[in-house]
């Protein structure tokens, strides 16, 4: 069963690149007492993720901050090395978007947002979604029906709903 509005996020450790290399990030530490946008993509460097989804949050990050959002986080079922490189390549890192890897898809599976698409070589990937999380609880969730589409989960759509 997929997570929905009103649900508390499960405890999860994700990965990011730090000054000394890969480091764990407790999602609870990122969300406790804060208003955070989390968006997830099927894969770094994949077409829709790279050319539409991440850019939509780069464009809207300042407007989200004006609405009280403390941090924008991108999660993908990729390792922290890929997420660092992808954040640099898209400009997400320079825009202040936090790029976190869910390398084993444990968080993605725990919230019921995993899928497989073997013909495209995508196994244990994340569905495309965006959510507003307030103090660890999902207050707004926009999930796409198809992983190749970025409409309801884009930055502009989430911003308009907040």
79-113 confidence digits (pLDDT tens) = 999 999 999 999 999 999 999 999 999 999 999 99
Alpha carbons 140 and 6: distance in angstroms, whole number: 8
Residue-level pLDDT at 109 = 97
In sequence order, the 6+-apart residues with CB closer than 8 A to the CB of 36 are 30, 69, 70, 71, 72, 73, 132, 133, 134
Convert the pLDDT of each residue in 128-154 to its tens digit. 999 999 999 999 999 999 888 999 999
86: left (phi over 0), alpha (psi -120 to 50) or beta: alpha
CATH numbers and ranges of domains, the chain: 13-161 (3.40.30.10)
Alpha carbons 1 and 61: distance in angstroms, whole number: 30
Q: SS3 for 108?
A: helix
The residues that are catalytic are 49
In sequence order, the 6+-apart residues with CB closer than 8 A to the CB of 160 are none
Residue-level pLDDT at 86 = 98
Indicate whether this model's pTM tops 0.85: yes
Residue-level pLDDT at 101 = 98
């Amino acid at each position: 069963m997929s997570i929905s509005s009103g649900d508390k996020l499960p405890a999860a450790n994700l990965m990011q690149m730090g000054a000394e290399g890969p480091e764990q990030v407790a999602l609870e530490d990122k969300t406790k007492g804060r208003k955070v946008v989390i968006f997830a993509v099927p894969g770094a460097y994949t077409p829709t993720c790279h050319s539409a989804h991440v850019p939509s949050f780069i464009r809207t990050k300042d407007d989200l901050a004006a609405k009280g959002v403390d941090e924008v986080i991108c999660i993908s079922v990729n390792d922290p090395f890929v997420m660092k490189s992808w954040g640099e390549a898209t400009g997400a890192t320079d825009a202040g978007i936090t790029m976190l890897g869910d390398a084993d898809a444990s968080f993605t599976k725990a919230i019921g947002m995993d899928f497989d698409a073997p013909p495209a070589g995508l196994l244990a990937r994340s569905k495309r979604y965006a959510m507003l999380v307030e103090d660890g609880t999902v207050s707004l969730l926009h999930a796409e029906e198809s992983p190749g589409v970025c409409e309801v989960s884009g930055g502009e759509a989430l911003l308009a709903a907040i």
